[in-house]
Structures are given as structure tokens and as C-alpha cells.
Structure 1
Amino acid sequence: MHYPIIVVPEPEQQAYTAVAPDIGEVASFGDSIEEALANLQEAVELYLEDAEEAPQPSKLEAVLEHEEVREHGGVVAFADLDLSFLDRKPVRLNVSLPSGLVKKIDEAARKRGMTRSGYLAWAADQAMARRQAEC
């Protein structure tokens, strides 16, 4: 979804701040405008982690009246933020695993008070987070 973003130069740090006024004033930083905008996706995901739905983008006229634009020299850009992570509707999958692994999964899930599906989703999420931290 395209959101208006305010990009503010930070001359003292030779950097830029990108602010998403429609998403809780979440901000990201970067040495270039491109880097500040790229970092915004992660900031938005962290901010909306437990949200039920995405906020609607403001009209451009409203964003142009924002303090960061009027008083701090910010300019308005549009960012296509990927909010697909908010779609938490379960999807049925057919997965083939060795029976011994399924038994281990079921045991681990039982110990955590989870269903098999819940445990597999949690484990996949944990593995992806570790992988991303390594990169």
C-alpha cells in the first residue's frame, strides 16, 4: 500500500529521517534518502507487529500540513510499504515429513501447550528470525 512519507534532512548527522505519519509517527534513519526509506519497512513491521489491520493513508493535503514538513524542511515522498504480514488468516498446507520428525514435533508442541500447526509456525518464525539476524 502506498503511504505518504516525510523525509527530513538531518544536516548535523549528514543523514535523513523518514517518518510515516499515518503509522504512529514511526521513523527510520539512513545515510541517504534511499536507505532511510528502505529501513522504514522494518520499523513499520515492528510497530504494527500486533495490529489487526493497516491504517489508511492520509490525503496528501493533510501530510503537507505536518510539522515535519512546515517547520523542519521535510519533503513528502510515497513509499509502497508491504503490509502483507498483517494477513494472519490461516492457510491449509499439505506437508510431508518423516514420521520420526513428526513425533518429535508433536512432543515438543505438547510440552509447550501448542498444536502441531502452532508449533511449526512458531519454529519457522524463530528460524527465520535467527537467519535474518545472521545476515
Structure 2
Amino acid sequence: MYFSVGIETPKSEAEAYGLVVPALCSEKFSCFSAADTEDQIAPMATEAIQLVLESMQEDGTATDGLRDLGALTYQKQADYAYCDAWLMLHVDITAFEGKPKRINISIPDTLISRIDHKVKAAPDRYRDRSHFLATAARHELETAGK
């Protein structure tokens, strides 16, 4: 999932970059972090996102309805007016979506071959056939009704 990360640029060398992830800020949770250098912004924001998602999972808060409204929307909100830069950061959240459950499905063997070929061709994007199918299902569910 892509997350908008608001960045507050430090005013002096003694300060760090302030980071906020509005999609994970609610009455129950908030997602803030800091980075000493520009190179640390993405790793520190990723770590903060994963920690909040872990807390949500432990709390029993569902992550399947999680949506990021986009930097353009957050920029207009007074709560994030201090952010002078924005970053779109991709974080794999599948580990926080619930327990895996084995199912039995039937699909044509030629489709299975095409899926397996796609998985082999993009190992940085898909871990295995199940991950591919879950990614495709998520995409279809997100775009259905649009």
C-alpha cells in the first residue's frame, strides 16, 4: 500500500526531519517519526508504519479498510499544515491483514501457467502464486464500483 508521508524540514542542524503518516492517525493511533538525514526518511517512516500496523493488529483493529487519501488532500488539512514536503511510500502490509487461510480453488491450467510465469518474472513484486492471487484480489476489490 502507498502511504503519504508528511515531512517537516528541520529549521537548524540541531533538529531532525519530522515525519507523519496521516492515514494511520486516528482517535486510537498516531504515526509519527523523525529522521536525522534525508536518507533516513523512508526507512524511519517505514518502521513507524510497521509498528503502528503491528499495534493495530494486536489491538484487533482491522486494516482491510485502511485508505490513504493522498498528499493533496492532507496538505489542505490544518493538522498537517506544518509539513512542507510529502513523500509517497510503498509498504507491504500483507503481514498485518490477518492469518493466512488455505482454500481450494479451481482455475484453468493455462491461467495457472501464466500466473506462475508472472511470479517468476517479477520476484521482487510477488513472493509466490498465493501472493500474486491475493494482490490481484485486493486490486479488484479496491477498483470495483469505481
Q: Does 1:75 align with 2:75?
A: no
Alignment coverage as a number of residue pairs: 91
Q: Does 1:64 align with 2:69?
A: no
Report the TM-score, using the length of structure 1 for normalisation. Answer: 0.56
Q: Does 1:26 align with 2:31?
A: yes
Whole-angstrom distance in 2 between the partners of 1:69 and 1:89 = 34
Bigger Rg over Cα: 1
Query: 3-state SS of the aligned residue for 1:56?
Result: coil
Q: Which residue does the alignment assign to 1:9? A: 9
Q: Which residue does the alignment assign to 1:97? A: none
Deviation at 1:66, TM superposition (A): 3.0
Whole-angstrom distance in 1 between the partners of 2:83 and 2:74 = 13
Conserved in 2, the CA contact under 8 Å of 1:69 and 1:75? Answer: no
Query: 3-state SS of the aligned residue for 1:22?
Result: helix
Report the TM-score, using the length of structure 2 for normalisation. Answer: 0.52
Whole-angstrom distance in 1 between the partners of 2:71 and 2:24 = 15
Please list every run of 5 or more consecutive structure 2 residues that lacks an aligned counterpart in the other structure. Answer: 103-146
CA RMSD of aligned residues (A): 2.2
Conserved in 1, the CA contact under 8 Å of 2:5 and 2:45? Answer: no
Whole-angstrom distance in 2 between the partners of 1:7 and 1:73 = 5
